[in-house]
Amino acid sequence: NAGVMQNPRHLVRRRGQEARLRCSPMKGHSHVYWYRQLPEEGLKFMVYLQKENIIDESGMPKERFSAEFPKEGPSILRIQQVVRGDSAAYFCASSKDSGTDYGYTFGSGTRLTVV
């Protein structure tokens, strides 16, 4: 029973390119959450999705960032025209329901470096 799978583990992009981060939730989990973490900082919530629906995107920057969780396939976090400030670790988590026990399972993260 694989956990939350994120890929790639490391991603290097030049300024202005697009970054595409993938997350496959645990089997049986239909809720996906994306978080961003800067060095020495906590986890900052970005977006919460269920299959084909965005439930809460209050933490997403208004421009350049988008997320989806299609009926088939992984959840994708897309960052267009990346800038140096986008360099961070991006974690995806999944849960079985909206969280009566709030036990999220996190993936190993994608470390994005913008050069």
For the bound state, the minimum distance from the C-beta of residue 69 to other proteins, rounded and expressed in Å, comes to: 14
Closest separation between CB of residue 99 and other proteins, Å? 6
Q: What is the C-alpha radius of gyration for the chain, rounded to an integer number of angstroms?
A: 13
Cα angle value 36/56/22 (rounded, 5°): 45
Q: Is 91 in the site for other proteins (CB under 8 A)?
A: yes
Q: How many residues bind other proteins (CB under 8 A)?
A: 24
Residues in the chain: 115
Question: Which CB, 14 or 103, lies closer to other proteins?
Answer: 103
Identified binder of other proteins from the candidate list 5, 29, 43, 96, rule CB under 8 A: 43
Token pair of 86 as six digits: 């986008």
φ, ψ of residue 95 in degrees (nearest 5): -145, 160
Q: How far apart are CA 71 and CA 65, in angstroms?
A: 20
Q: Which stretch binds other proteins (CB under 8 A): 22-30, 48-56, 64-72, 76-84?
A: 48-56
Say whether residue 28 binds other proteins (CB under 8 A). Answer: no
Asked if residue 113 lies in contact with residue 10, where contact means CB atoms within 8 angstroms, the answer is yes
Binding site for other proteins (CB under 8 A): 33, 35, 41-45, 48, 55-56, 91, 93, 98-109
